[in-house]
Amino acid sequence: MFKVYKVFRAEAVNRKWIIIYSPDHADGLLVNFIRKIIPVFAATLFLTIPSYSQTLVGGVINSYWQVTSVDFCNNRVALPAIIAGINTGDKMLLMQMQGALIDTSDTPAYGAIVNYNGSGKYELLTVGDVNNNIITFQETMLNNYNAAGMVQLILVPQYADLIVAATLTAQPWDGTTGGVLAFIATGTVTLNADVDVTGAGFRGGGILNDGMCFNGGLGYDGYRSTTLFSGGANKGEGIAGTLYQNLGRGAPANGGGGGNDSNTGGGGGSNAVTGGKGGQRLNVAPGCTGDNPGMGGHALNYSDTLNQIYSGGMPTGLYMVSSLRYRGGSHTKCWLPVVSAKR
């Protein structure tokens, strides 16, 4: 039996093959390699390094901790409290999930990325010392991180031959930690069950149901708003986080924009290419009849120089002036070549 995967890259490293794929969800488009591992935020990675016996796995296999400060000069990070579950020699993935700065003007430029500000940085490190809530690494850190940009430390389990016996997934992203599935395997990875991280990445905007048209029926054409029922639905989450201007059709970085009134769809989240624009009503006319749907998320910059990875942005809320429930904009998918993997 064969199962189809969407492969981003497969290449030999030290005579062993690394295979990276994105599952059927836009949350994981990878670029580049650092050291010997590629983490996947809301996607999955197989790769090769040290040694252990055959293991059956399923469910969530990673553990996650929020990083409260980063001491780049001394190769260490601080966690919120005294930590159990991290030991000397453990492999840890250090990642900054958000922190990008964007244009916040109420114009078509809203959401354009001004500075990535560390979002997407990552590296694989080995624990050298655990002292209360301070984790010191054996290696010299390659990157500095902005803890305000939601940096997390992830325990990466190591296997030899691995059998996925039940659905393998990630802890859902909660705004601080989660959304990553990463492991190391030196031998064969056998898929007797699915690897599925659907919906585990950045969070989508909710549906907003308003009882009347904004501004006396004239509608709302702005790109961002801070006031509920001001004419715009919730924006989706992306590498700029969840901002105070969290309503309206403007797309915050790779998150989709919220549909403006009335009955417009939210924009699709993006990754390497721009997200799709939200849907509109059939009887569109100027004013409160759905002529300002959410904008699609902005395309992210992938390059060998940056060597960063990002979660795909999420779609957003629909603005409704009715009692019906419509779906928000579709999630944009950016798939690369398809190959078959034996299961």
Helix (H, G, I), strand (E, B) or coil at 76: strand
Mean local confidence (pLDDT), 58-69: 96
Mean local confidence (pLDDT), 89-95: 97
For the chain, the structural domain boundaries read 2-191, 203-336
Q: What percent of the chain clears pLDDT 70, i.e. is strictly above it?
A: 69
Side-chain-side CA neighbours of residue 167 (13 Å): 7
pTM of the model: 0.74
Q: What is the pLDDT of residue 210?
A: 67
Side-chain-side CA neighbours of residue 261 (13 Å): 22
Express each pLDDT in 130-184 by its tens digit.
999 999 999 999 999 999 999 999 999 999 999 999 999 999 999 999 999 999 9
The confidence band for 47, taking pLDDT boundaries of 50, 70 and 90, is very low
Mean local confidence (pLDDT), 82-104: 94
The confidence band for 311, taking pLDDT boundaries of 50, 70 and 90, is confident
The confidence band for 314, taking pLDDT boundaries of 50, 70 and 90, is low
Express each pLDDT in 330-339 by its tens digit.
222 222 232 2
Spatial contact of 270 and 289, defined as CB atoms under 8 Å apart: no
